[in-house]
C-alpha cells in the first residue's frame, strides 16, 4: 500500500478554517462523503479545540496536525507544539469545574465519532483513527444485493390475444 502523509500547522483558533480545508481535501482524495466526512471533521476540530483550550496561556503555542493513511484507516495526530506548560493554577475553583465539564463533553463527542482515540498523558497530543476499509465493503454488499435483486426479479408479460 502506498503511504500518504500530510501535515498542517495552525497558530491559533482563528486558523481553524485551514484544518477544515485540510480535512476536506483528504476526504475528497479518498472519496469519503456524507456522515463519515462530518464525523472526521467534527472530531478533528474538537480535538484541536481541546488542545488550544488546555494550553491557551502558552505564548507561541501551535498545533501540528499530521495525517497518515495506514492499514487501519485514516490516522490524524493532533499535537501541541511550542513552549510553555499550559499552567492553569491561576484559575479559581469554578473556572476549573467549568473547564473540566466542557472538556469531558468534548472528549465524549470525539470518542463517539472516532473508531480509536489516544490521548497523551500530558494532554499534548490526541491521535484519532477512522476505519475506512469497512465503508467499501458495505458499498460492495449493497451493490451485490441490488444485482441479485435485479436478476431474480421477474416481470409479468401480458400477451395480446
Residue 156 is assigned to a structural domain of this protein: no
Residue 53 is assigned to a structural domain of this protein: yes
Tell whether the model's pLDDT for residue 160 goes beyond 80.
Answer: no
Most confident range, picked from 17-21, 27-31, 97-101: 17-21
Which whole number is the average pLDDT over 46-72?
A: 83
Residue 64 is assigned to a structural domain of this protein: yes
Most confident range, picked from 82-86, 127-131, 133-137: 127-131
Residue 41 is assigned to a structural domain of this protein: yes
Contact 80, 59 (CB under 8 A): no
Residue 119 is assigned to a structural domain of this protein: yes
For 15-159, list the strands marked E by DSSP. 62-69, 74-81, 116-119, 125-130
Tell whether the model's pLDDT for residue 157 goes beyond 70.
Answer: no
SS3 21: helix
Question: Could you tell me the pLDDT band of residue 88, with boundaries at 50, 70 and 90?
Answer: low
Q: Which residues pair with 69 in a beta bridge?
A: 4, 74
Q: What is the mean pLDDT of the chain?
A: 81
Q: What's the burial of 82, exposed, middle or buried (CB within 10 Å: 0-12/13-18/19+)?
A: middle
Number of domains in the chain: 1
Residue 129 is assigned to a structural domain of this protein: yes
Tell whether the model's pLDDT for residue 76 goes beyond 80.
Answer: yes
pLDDT > 70 in the chain, percent: 78
Least confident of 16-20, 55-59, 61-65: 55-59
Residue 60 is assigned to a structural domain of this protein: yes
Q: What is the pLDDT of residue 149?
A: 81
Q: Which residues pair with 129 in a beta bridge?
A: 75, 116
Question: Could you tell me the pLDDT band of residue 137, with boundaries at 50, 70 and 90?
Answer: low
pTM over 0.75: no
Question: Could you tell me the pLDDT band of residue 46, with boundaries at 50, 70 and 90?
Answer: very high
90: containing domain: 4-133
Q: What CATH code is carried by the domain that includes residue 121?
A: 3.30.565.10
H-run or E-run covering 113: helix 93-113
Q: Which residues pair with 154 in a beta bridge?
A: none
Residue 151 is assigned to a structural domain of this protein: no
Amino acid at each position: 500500500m502506498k503511504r500518504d502523509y500530510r501535515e498542517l500547522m495552525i497558530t491559533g483558533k482563528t486558523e481553524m478554517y485551514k484544518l477544515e480545508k485540510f480535512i476536506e481535501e483528504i476526504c475528497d482524495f479518498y472519496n469519503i462523503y456524507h456522515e463519515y466526512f462530518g464525523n472526521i471533521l467534527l472530531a478533528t476540530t474538537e480535538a484541536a479545540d481541546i488542545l488550544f483550550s488546555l494550553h491557551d496561556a502558552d505564548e507561541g503555542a501551535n498545533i501540528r496536525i499530521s495525517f497518515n493513511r495506514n492499514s487501519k484507516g485514516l490516522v490524524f495526530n493532533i499535537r501541541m507544539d511550542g513552549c510553555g506548560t499550559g499552567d492553569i493554577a491561576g484559575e479559581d475553583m469554578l473556572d476549573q469545574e467549568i473547564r473540566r465539564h466542557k472538556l469531558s463533553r468534548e472528549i465524549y463527542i470525539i470518542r463517539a465519532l472516532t473508531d480509536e482515540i489516544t490521548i497523551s498523558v500530558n494532554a499534548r497530543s490526541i491521535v484519532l483513527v477512522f476505519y475506512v476499509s469497512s465503508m467499501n465493503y458495505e458499498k460492495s454488499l449493497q451493490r451485490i444485493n441490488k444485482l441479485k435483486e435485479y436478476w431474480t426479479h421477474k416481470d409479468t408479460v401480458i400477451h395480446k390475444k
